[in-house]
Amino acid sequence: MNLIELVKEEKIVAIVRGIKQEDSLATVEALVEGGIRLIEVTMNTEGVLEIIQQWRKRFENENVYIGAGTVLDTEMAQAAIDAGAQFLVTPNLDEDVVKLAIEQEIDIIPGVMTPTEIVKAVKAGAKVVKLFPAGTLGVKYIKEIKGPLSHVPILATGGVNLDNINEFLEQDIVGVGLGGSLVKKDMLENKNFKALTELARKYVTAAKGV
């Protein structure tokens, strides 16, 4: 898979964090039914490696890509890759993790905030960077750094919601990462997976409209 093209096409990476293992399959199926194709489960989720394996098996013949998020070091990265993660996402820039992913031909989206980190990530081999926390930095920040760094594909993560997703996507970024604004805690607690599907559809519709 060409991660850049896939992110550009889909525009949304769903971030699933802290779900109960018993609800993991219903959660991912609800997201996929709502039109989400790129889904990461964070490494600080209990049973994460089993969840990755389960999701990969469930969607092995479909156009759905399963990744691991909150990858903090090379040990986590290797464990996620061994479990079947198709891409890795980090909250920070660890060039050793980037190197490991590239060596094993796994796509990685490292977390960055400053222009220095963005350039370092690209030099390390990253094809897409995750700007985090995007909500705190704001769309003006993105607009300003896209001046000198217009060639770098950016995934904006943190603080993106239905009210501002279009504003972010209009800043010439490849997509957004959606965590709690999409995978809502109350929906999971109430096992309201139908509502999760409906919300996913709203996000997909909004993103495709940009």
Q: Tell me which residues are annotated as active site.
A: 40, 130
Percentages helix, strand, coil for the chain, rounded to the nearest 5?
45, 15, 35
What is the Cα–Cα distance from 201 to 149, expressed in whole angstroms?
Answer: 32
Q: Which residue has the tokens 């199926």?
A: 29
What per-residue string of b and e applies to 83-96 under the rule 16 or more CB within 10 Å gives b? bbbbbbbbbbbbee
Q: Is the CA virtual torsion 186, 189, 195, 199 positive or negative? A: positive
Q: Which residue has the tokens 């943190």?
A: 158
Can you say how many angstroms the Cα of residue 157 is from the centroid of all Cα atoms in its chain?
A: 8
